[in-house]
Chain A
Amino acid sequence: MRYEAVIGLEIHAQLRTKTKIFCGCSTEFGSEPNSQTCPVCIGMPGVLPVLNKRVVEFAIKTGLAMNCRISPYSRFARKNYFYPDLPKGYQISQYELPICEHGYVDIVVDGVKRRIGITRIHMEEDAGKNIHERDCSLVDLNRTGVPLLEIVTEPDIRSPKEASAFMRKLRTILRYLEVCDGNMEQGSLRCDANVSLRPEGSEEFGTKTEIKNINSFRFVEKALEYEIKRQEKVLSEGGTIVQETRLWDSERGVTFSMRSKEEAHDYRYFPEPDLVPLVVKEDWIEEIKSSMPELPDEKLKKYTEEFGLPQYDAELLTEERPIAEWFEEAVRLGGAPKEVSNWMMTELLRLLNENNIEIISCRVTPEHLVKIIKLIEEGKISRNIGKKVFADVFQTGKDPEEIVKEKGLVQISDTSELQRLVEEVLKNNPKEVERYRGGEQKLLGFFVGQVMKASKGKANPKAVNELLRKKLSS
């Protein structure tokens, strides 16, 4: 029997606020253990949580970007359970009335557009961090109370590839909005997956398992592939799937059952009495909407339709907002979109990658690139020299025109100078000249190369070509 996978994701995104969700402790990552806690976040008796307004703004922003309905009225709830990283014995979360519901995110997989429903987005506090030693566990509560958004999708995802594409898209959106830095390895973006199989064509859901601990983009696909194969094997051998939580082990490349001592989850949610309800009026939503940047989907549409870029270019350039903005600035300054895109995709992104530099701290500005393109168009430098100038600007941040002038890179289009170079090359290579005249036309490339070399790349290749043809046929 052929099976179809049904996948739903539950994502936790750490918000990039300065302080925690209910107290003024810093959220900075990597500080000394237990140096960023206070009576509120470590659950001392008699303290009162007060909601960080920016968390609500970030939640609304995210909801809008994911086409959600923003609830005019929402509230917080207590989720009760015991664990050493949860000092209060409950987590403040949202339950019946989350801040965002009924949204969607579009993804494109193998050229096919798929719409993935967003069930809900809610705000909650993070728990602390446990380190397990041989004879004990150590608890650091710095992360306790760091604001999280929990984003839950509909079971609309049908393959590991779609799940991975969704996670990338989600990360892109969160980074555009500057609400989360989207680092799965550092845990600021976490993903749990619910997976079940059903016979192809069936509408009913099979029994699902929940996969936790997927801590990199690469593993989203791998963990799901493994789990689907595992379930397929169990079902095809006549077995049944046990509903359980499984952990992804990236070293062994398997998921394994997390045998938990905790009995069936019974969180006994109830409205959080320490926090008053949250009312979001239309004007607040409008205010937030107007502060939002253009999102990747809109940019993609603009790049392909208005700028005429291929889908591939557009996708690559819109993945990160600073890159998209760099591109748009270069186009605004007069660079032809496809030309700018080519330079960025080959030279710029390669150099950034090789030097491990973010585009925001890169020394080449859009203005520099437009100048280089112009120098080439005007025939002042060759394309190859252009690339060298680009690399030079990347290192030094100097003006391209100055570099060309300083290093004497101006293209030689002056015929008498070129004539001299051409004649020299022909004189030094009599055998090749003979062979060319004997019919080996493809040797023209060899001569062009020699002239370019003799001119240290400065000769105008087009002029060299013409001159060579003329000389060789005479």
Chain B
Amino acid sequence: MKISRADVEHIAMLARLKLTEEEKDTYSEQLSKILDYIDKLNQLDTTDVEPTSHVLQITNVFRDDEPAKSLPTDKALKNAPDRKDNFYRVPRIIE
């Protein structure tokens, strides 16, 4: 399966990655190869095999609706690049 430069640019945009022209070519080639390799799986006959949605064989792991302690605000905001009062401060979102 061919991953074009345009595909790479789209995926990079979604992941907010800045790529050089050289990198775009490299990834286009590498991603194509990876997908070709994965494509081998399609050679298997999976007619009677249930689709796997999870690798574990367990279901229904729940917690009760009981409050637990939250982080103190200062601790929660400790890794924030910027803060104002008790808020995370980010570049203005809407114009």
Contacts and interface: CB of A to CB of B under 8 A. Distances in A.
B21 interface: no
Contact of B62 (A25, A56, A134, A138): A56
Contacts of B54: 75, 271, 273, 276-277
Nearest to A42: B76
A310 interface: no
> Of A38, A83, A275, which is in contact with the most chain B CB atoms at under 10 Å from its CB?
A38
Nearest to A15: B65
B16 A82 contact: yes
A139 B90 contact: yes
Contacts of A445: none
A132 B93 contact: yes
A136 B82 CA distance: 11
B57 to A, nearest CB: 9
Interface string B66-95: 111111010011000000111111111111
A304 B34 CA distance: 67
7 contacts: A18-B66, A19-B65, A52-B63, A52-B64, A83-B93, A135-B92, A278-B60
A53 B65 CA distance: 7
B35 interface: no
Q: How large is the interface on B (under 10, 10 to 19, 20 to 34, 35 or more residues)?
A: 35 or more
Contacts of B59: 276-279
A90 to B, nearest CB: 11
A34 B73 contact: yes
A298 interface: no
Q: What's the dominant secondary structure at chain B's contact region? A: loop
A411 interface: no
Nearest to B87: A138
A82 B16 CA distance: 9
B61 interface: yes
Contacts of B44: none
B84 A136 contact: yes
B67 A53 contact: no
Q: What's the dominant secondary structure at chain A's contact region? A: loop
> Of A54, A80, A136, which is in contact with the most chain B CB atoms at under 10 Å from its CB?
A136
Contacts of B94: 132, 137
B41 interface: no
A266 B11 CA distance: 10
A141 B88 contact: yes
Interface string A124-151: 0000001111111111110000000000
Contacts of B58: 276
B88 A34 contact: yes
A88 to B, nearest CB: 14
Given A25-B70, A136-B89, A263-B13, 13 more contacts: A19-B68, A42-B76, A53-B62, A132-B92, A134-B92, A136-B90, A137-B93, A140-B88, A266-B10, A268-B14, A276-B58, A278-B59, A279-B60
A140 B87 contact: yes
Q: How large is the interface on A (under 10, 10 to 19, 20 to 34, 35 or more residues)?
A: 35 or more
A137 B92 contact: yes
Contacts of B49: none
Interface string B44-57: 00000000011110
Interface string B3-45: 0000000100110100000000000000000000000000000
B8 to A, nearest CB: 14
A37 interface: yes
A230 B76 CA distance: 46
A35 B73 contact: yes
B43 to A, nearest CB: 23
A433 B41 CA distance: 107
Contacts of B70: 25-26, 35-38
A32 interface: yes
A37 B71 contact: yes
A268 B15 CA distance: 11
A51 B59 CA distance: 11
A39 interface: yes
A267 B75 CA distance: 31
Contacts of B14: 80, 266, 268
